[in-house]
Amino acid sequence: MDNRIYDHPAVSVIIPISDNARNIKKLLSFVKRIDPHTEVIAVCNKESSQEAILSNVWGAQVISTGLEVDSHEARAIGSAHARGDVVLFIDERLAMPLLYLKKYVLLVKKGSDVIITTCSDRSVSRRDERSPRSAYCLLNHLLGQKRMGSASFENIPFALSRNALEAIGPEILCNPAVALVQASVLGLKMTTIAPFAPEKQPSGTRDIVRKDIRTIYREHAKAIQLLTGGTKLRHADQDGQRHRDLVHSSDVLHLRSVFHLESRVKEGGGWGGKRKAKYARSHKKTKRRAH
């Protein structure tokens, strides 16, 4: 296994890794063949028991988040360490040939800034018709990128040029919908690729925290609000609506944006809380008058 660390790698491959991930040795050996000068950045959820093996034996740069993060947060953290001219984001459960992955790298080298995968036709379950595909298509339509169809940073793999990563900002990748808005607003050249073997292609890592459909819808709603001028580009959230946790990894501090859910008691019981409180006060006054 070639475990040299290049001063200026041509390609950086970002992989979120779970502690129970299988065939990691085979995966690392595989991705090293994408380009003769490839650096691999493995982002491990929480503290990983595989860190020493991945780093010392297989030549990967390993980042342990110390926290439970989802796959997109892990990719954002990894991208902050990437040094390659092309940054490729893949999944730990890789199920595609080497030539297919090389296509992403080649398209970036030919001048594209962003290479994203379209959603598989099999992504809609027969038992549950709810699918994020409609959200992807709607956002692209509003961006004036109808030709991109269901392409989204939610789909893996995707690739960015060095210029695109610096323009979008690694931290923005935590919210794929907002990252897509940012890429479009900046006028970055975007190219789409159809998914390979959709019946086998995984949609996310097995053990790293995955987002549910409601979270994806909510993030796309915020991206649309951002696009229409409703909020500033801060993951489509104002500072008063969130708090930030610092993730320590490889002596670098990363800001991890998470939602701050206020207490329902403090908010007066959630939706309609003010109306209920007003009714309660009125009811007490009526009782006192009756006595």
Write out the DSSP string of 201-233: --SS-SSSB---HHHHHHHHHHHHHHHTTSS-S
| pLDDT value of residue 54 | 64
Please give the pLDDT value at position 6.
58
At a CB cut-off of 8 Å and minimum separation 6, what does 271 contact? none
Is pTM, for the whole model, over 0.85?
A: no
Cα–Cα distance, 32 to 35 (Å, whole number): 7
Beta partners for residue 158, in sequence order: 89, 116
Quote the CA–CA distance of 237 and 221 in Å, as a whole number: 11
pLDDT digits (tens, 9 = 90+) for 129-168: 568 899 999 999 999 999 999 999 999 999 999 999 999 9
Do residues 97 and 89 make contact, with C-beta atoms less than 8 angstroms apart? no
Rounded-to-integer distance, Cα 203 and Cα 13, Å: 18
Average pLDDT, the chain: 76
**Count, residues in the chain:** 291
The predicted model gives 265-291 an average pLDDT of 57
- Cα 131 off chain centre by: 17
Share of the chain above pLDDT 70, in %: 62
92 in Cβ contact with 24 (< 8 Å): yes
* Distance separating the N- and C-terminal Cα atoms of the chain: 86
DSSP 8-state secondary structure symbol assigned to residue 118: P
The SS3 call for residue 95 is: coil
Model pLDDT for residues 179-227, shown as the tens digit of each residue: 999 999 999 999 999 998 644 444 444 445 567 888 999 999 999 988 8
User: What does the alpha-carbon distance between residue 118 and residue 133 come to, in Å, rounded to a whole number?
Assistant: 9
CA-atom Rg of the chain in angstroms? 22
